[in-house]
Amino acid sequence: MIDFDMWYRNEYPRVVNALTLLTGDQQVSVDAASEAFVRALAKWDRVSNMDRPGGWLYKVALNDARKRLRRGARDRTTAVELDWSPTVTMPIEPDHQLWNAVAQLPDRTRSVVVLRYVADLTEPAIATALGIKRGTVATMLRRAHQTLADQLGPNYSSERRLFHAVT
């Protein structure tokens, strides 16, 4: 069984960063991540035994963030306008050119990219979080890489470049 405290310490910054990139609103992201972890703790016996607890957590957090945004809790901003110095900070200074290009991707594709490279979820966990098939995730990642390579040139075409931009 996974230790909740360790899981929380490892995953919380990733969840907040991923949600912030997806929603453009750090406070909504912090609130949604916190709520998702509270729900995970309340059901920890069940959640800790899931094949993909991270996928479940992101699904809960994404749904909560969407609900908060729909209720008009805050004005939504785009990821392009993000201040990259949030309370929960990225481990390194992000590549603004790359992430501005990612922000221009369609919403679902951007979600897949962020969950893969910021949240470090596997394709099956992303599929769980977004309620889509694993093959769809793989296709979307491949197309996103191609789109970014076309937009930014060959230096940005590899998965490694995207991953190292946030880790």
The SS3 of residue 132 is coil
The pLDDT value recorded for residue 71 is 84
Q: Average of pLDDT values for 31-38?
A: 95
* Distance separating alpha carbons of residues 15 and 62, to the nearest angstrom: 9
Higher pLDDT, 20 or 75: 20
Q: Give pLDDT, residue 94.
A: 60
**Mean pLDDT over residues 14-39, rounded?**
91
Half-sphere exposure of 154 (CA within 13 A, CB side): 0
Confidence of residue 138 (pLDDT cuts 50, 70, 90): very high
The average pLDDT across 45-50 equals: 92
Confidence class for position 85, pLDDT limits 50, 70, 90: very low
Q: What is the pTM of this model?
A: 0.71
Domain 4-164 -> CATH class? mainly alpha
pLDDT attached to residue 43? 94
User: According to the model, what pLDDT value does residue 152 have?
Assistant: 86
DSSP string of 32-62, one letter each residue: HHHHHHHHHHHTHHHHTTSS-HHHHHHHHHH
For the chain, give every domain's residue range: 4-164
Rounded Cα distance, 114 and 126, in Å: 10
Helix/strand/coil for 167:
coil
End-to-end Cα separation, the chain, in angstroms: 27
pLDDT-based confidence at residue 2 (cuts at 50, 70, 90): confident
* Residue of 161 and 26 predicted with greater confidence: 26
